[in-house]
Homo-oligomer: A and B are copies of this chain.
Amino acid sequence: MRVLITGGAGFLGRKLAAALLREGALALDGGAPQPIEQITLFDAVPAADLPDDRVETVTADITDRGVLDRLTAGADLVWHLAAVVSAAAEADFDLGYRVNVDGTRLLLEAMRATGRRGRIVFASSLAVYGGDMPAVITDDFQATPQTSYGTHKAIGELLLADHSRKGHVDGRSLRLPTIVVRSGTPNKAASTFASSIIREPLAGRETVCPVPPDTAVYILSPRQVVASLLRAMLLPERSWPASRTLLLPGITVSVADMVSALARAAGTDVADRIRWQPEPDIQRIVDGWPVRAEALRARGLGFTDDGSFDDILRAFIDDDLGGTIPSQPNGR
């Protein structure tokens, strides 16, 4: 199998690639495992080298149709993760549309042009929801996004579904909860604080939380997101609804819950590295996201949440900090 990952230089793309290298083979539709021969990490910025012969990196703009034609011609499976993230898309309207809408459409057109009906998993987002919402989002509730990013993801789902229906691709979209704890550095997603308030204090750094402690978030760990992205690729096509889209399970926690878990695991002096500094622009975006969802359809197909925030914190320490909480500069 030859794999293409757009957004391959990103945090999630690298995690997914690492998981694929560990797996070594993929069993599509419950069939025999087929070895992964090649993973192409495609991104607008250079991807850090993964020390593996099976990995190649390609740096180009996602609206470069020539590059897309070449890459899709050489790919059996595509994970489409590339996106201008929420706050960035809100700040630069044109860039967001160019990358998130035009990029997705061109990628699908390139796959269509191969004539091979490639399989593609699209990272959509709970940001497709917005406006008046029930307390708990159900599988059939409408997507009425209140951000440009959410709009782009909703359009991407529609494009994937239409190209799938027409037989151009075999598309599968996942509406991802907020991913916590992200490794690396803060990005321009409005949700980046939800990871920063854990990751930065654990690294001995101060960080700013732009929303109040009672803010609720609907989250999934990177470990579970990667498992879900894999599962979405392996499931038989008949498992998918006509919309080609699944709302993923997550857990609902408050920022205060998260900080308490951090204090329990690493001490209150670590948790005290969070400064509380309201940012209305971020607050407005975050307030527009749903905080509870049922996700029965995805649960029925074996997608799962993390159980608790303590589990999410443990997964971060295991996967990204080598299994131990770093010794703390100021005396712990």
A246 to chain B, nearest CB (A): 12
Verify if A205 is at the interface (C-beta below 8 Å from B).
no
CB distance from A155 to the nearest CB of B (A): 5
- Pairs across A and B, CB under 8 Å, 9 listed: A93-B166, A131-B242, A132-B140, A132-B241, A144-B241, A144-B242, A144-B243, A151-B158, A151-B162
Number of copies of this chain that the complex holds = 2
A161 and B154 CA atoms in complex are apart in Å by 12
Find out whether the CB atom of A130 lies under 8 angstroms from the CB atom of B242. yes
Question: Quick one: which of B145, B162, B242, B245 contacts A148, CB cutoff 8 A?
Answer: B162
The residues in A between 231 and 273 inclusive whose CB is less than 8 angstroms from any CB of B are 241-243, 245
Q: Does A188 contact B (CB under 8 A)?
A: no
Residues of B within 8 A of A146 (CB): 165, 242
User: Do B131 and A145 touch across chains, with their CB atoms under 8 A apart?
Assistant: no
Choose one: B130, B132, B143; the contact of A142 (CB below 8 Å): B143
| Interface residues in A164-189 (C-beta closer than 8 Å to B) | 165-166
Residue among A130, A162, A243 with most chain B CB within 10 A? A162
Contacting pair A131 B162 (CB below 8 A): no
Residues B142 and A141 in contact, CB atoms below 8 Å apart = yes
Is B148 in contact with A241, judged by CB distance below 8 angstroms? Answer: no
Q: Mark A110-139, 1 if CB is under 8 A from B, else 0.
A: 000000000000000000001110000000
Q: Is the CB of B132 within 8 A of A242?
A: yes
Extra inter-chain contacts (12) besides given A145-B162, A155-B159, CB under 8 Å: A132-B241, A141-B142, A142-B142, A142-B143, A142-B243, A145-B158, A145-B161, A148-B162, A148-B166, A151-B161, A154-B158, A155-B155
Asked if A243 meets B131 with Cβ closer than 8 Å, knowing A140-B141, A142-B142, the reply is: yes
Cβ contact within 8 Å between B140 and A142: yes
CB proximity of A146 to chain B, nearest CB, Å: 6
Of chain B, the residue at the smallest CB distance from A162 is B151
